[in-house]
Amino acid sequence: MSARDRIERALTRLVTASATERLAISLAALFASILVGTVLILGAGRITECATATFVLTHPTPFGLPRLFELGFCYNPVTVYDRLFLGALGDPLSAGWDPFGRQMALTLRETTVLLFTGLGVAVAFRAGIFNIGAQGQLVVGSLASALAVLQVAPLVGGAPGTAVSLTVGLAVGALGGGLYAAIPGLLKAYADANEVITTIMLNFIATGVVGYLVLNHVKDPDSFATQTRTIPDHANFPTILFEPTANFSVIALAVGVVLVGVIYYLLAHTAFGYDVRTSGLQPEAAEYGGVDAKRTIVASFGLSGALAGIGGALYALMILGKFQTGVPSYGFDGITVSILAGNNPLGVGFAAFLFGILKSGAGVVNFATEVPPQLVATLRGLIILFVAMPEFFRLLGGRMKGVQRRLGRESDGGETDA
């Protein structure tokens, strides 16, 4: 059996894997990434100098023989992974676990924002569009939302004020992100411009223009930072249930979970979703089926941007309480979240949670160990890479001729006739 045969056989197996098998594969990949990461941690721990070794490996001495070696490592891989995962969840295995504690709140805060950007990218992917511009759409949505709430909040006070401000904030964030995403949508639909290029460029434009606007027109005069004035407290997302200093609102998470359901329903149960999926899978068939390709491109781009824009609104209204330049890369992480989830809206929830754990867990590791942040970032990257790879190979395998042949899809390919 040739090497090519082996590869094709393995990919075929992967393509035909059931949902349970895929879950098992993901867990195995996670485990493998931890093994590789352990080797990295040990290696790095050997070449670093430290006063006391935190991890010591000794040769067992069963017959009272002298020890052959005793190796010390500066970093303890068990501690690192313990902090990364359990630390991020606020130590669920310890007796005094507080599921509403600060660390859990931080994890869920990251999860919430990534839920929106991931969902946005996934919607575009399903329509056959690669939206790399989620970051720019998030930035635009974030500023638009902050400015709108700064206008609205002083008008209505109290609990009604919170409701009105948040509704307006989310709506304006969605509108801002959606309109900004409509630009590459229109360019693709009517000028045949490749969306990968236009969205990358529009990311730079968004950051630049927003920075200019804040600095020159809406800057908080009392601050040295490039930021808007602070939004009144009653117009922020209320931090109920959870530790308030973590700036996490379970209401925002609830909105996210509802939207996951809405997007799932939209794709699976509406004519619009049918058009989107058909366009994404087979544009020629969509054209045959009477789908208006241009409209579908613009609409799915707009929807994608609106979701990223809501993520931006949360950044302003939940995390910061204002808009400030230097927005973290939620939009780019959203691309990875979406791929990790196989572009499935329901999967985005889980992928965003994994990302949230890794992001907040990294902070815990930095705090609890001497391991340098660069190494922690590498470990995170390894986990994402390993977990995403099986999905990647599934996508790849599904397109390979040899694999399709093995699946018997081409078994009648030669038999067209005249």
Partner 1 sequence: MDRAVHLDGITKRFPGVVANDNVTLEVERGGVHALLGENGAGKTTLMNVLYGLYEPTEGRVVVDGTEREFDAPADAIDAGIGMIHQHFMLVDPMTVTENITLGNEPRKWGGLAVDRATAREEVQELSDRYGFAVDPDATIADVSVGVQQRVEILKALYRGADTLILDEPTAVLTPQEVDELFAVFEELTDAGKTIIFITHKLGEAMTAADDITVLRDGKGVATVPAAETTRESLAEMMVGREVLMDTSDRPHDPGAETLRVEGVSVTDDRGVPAVDDVSFSVREGEIFGIAGVDGNGQAELIEAITGLRDPSSGRIDFEGEDIGSWSRRDRIDAGMAYVPEDRHERGLVMEFDLTESGILGSQHGEPFTSNGRIDWDVARDHASNIVETYDVRPPDIGAKSAALSGGNQQKFIVGREFERDPSLFVAAHPTRGVDIGSTEFIHERLFALRDDGDGVLVVSSKLDEVQLLADRLAVIHDGTLMAVVDPDDVTEEELGLLMAGERPARQLESQRVDGGEP
Which stretches of the chain bind partner 1, using CB under 8 A? 1-2, 5, 16, 269-272, 274-275, 277-278, 281-282, 284-285, 287-292, 405-409, 411-418
232 vs 402 by CB, closer to partner 1:
402
Q: How far is the CB of 42 from partner 1 (least distance, A)?
A: 43
1/68 with CB nearer partner 1: 1
Indicate the burial class of 156 (C-beta count within 10 angstroms; 0-12, 13-18, 19 or more).
Answer: middle
Half-sphere exposure of 187 (CA within 13 A, CB side): 16
- 15-24: long-range contacts (C-beta < 8 A, 24 or more apart)? 15/394, 15/397, 15/398, 15/403, 15/407, 16/407, 17/394, 22/390, 22/394
- Pick 16 or 194: Cβ nearer partner 1: 16
How near is the Cβ of 276 to partner 1 at its closest, in Å? 11
The nearest distance, CB 295 to partner 1, in angstroms, is 10
Residue closer to partner 1 (CB basis): 200 or 293: 293
Residue 55 or 274: which CB sits closer to partner 1?
A: 274
* Tokens 């393509």 sit on residue: 15
**The pair of three-digit structure tokens given for residue 43, joined into one six-digit string:** 């290696």
Find how far residue 384's CA is from the centre of its chain: 11
What is the 3-class SS of 352-365, one letter each residue? Answer: HHHHHHHHHHHHHH
Residue 25 Cβ, how far from partner 1 at the closest point, in Å? 18
CB of 268 to partner 1, least distance (A): 9
Closest separation in Å from C-beta 406 to partner 1: 7
User: How many angstroms separate the CA atoms of 136 and 140, rounded?
Assistant: 6
Neighbours of 65 (CB within 10 A): 9
Nearer to partner 1, 18 or 216 (CB): 18
Amino acid of residue 48: T
Q: How far is the CB of 309 from partner 1 (least distance, A)?
A: 23
**CB closer to partner 1 out of 68 and 271:** 271
Least distance from partner 1 to the Cβ atom of residue 190, Å: 15
Alpha-carbon gap, residue 287 to 300, rounded angstroms: 16
For 74-164, list the strands marked E by DSSP. Answer: none
Task: Return the H-helix or E-strand segment holding 261.
Answer: helix 250-269
Task: Name the residue nearer to partner 1 (CB basis): 97 or 190.
Answer: 190
150 contacts 231 by C-beta, under 8 angstroms: yes
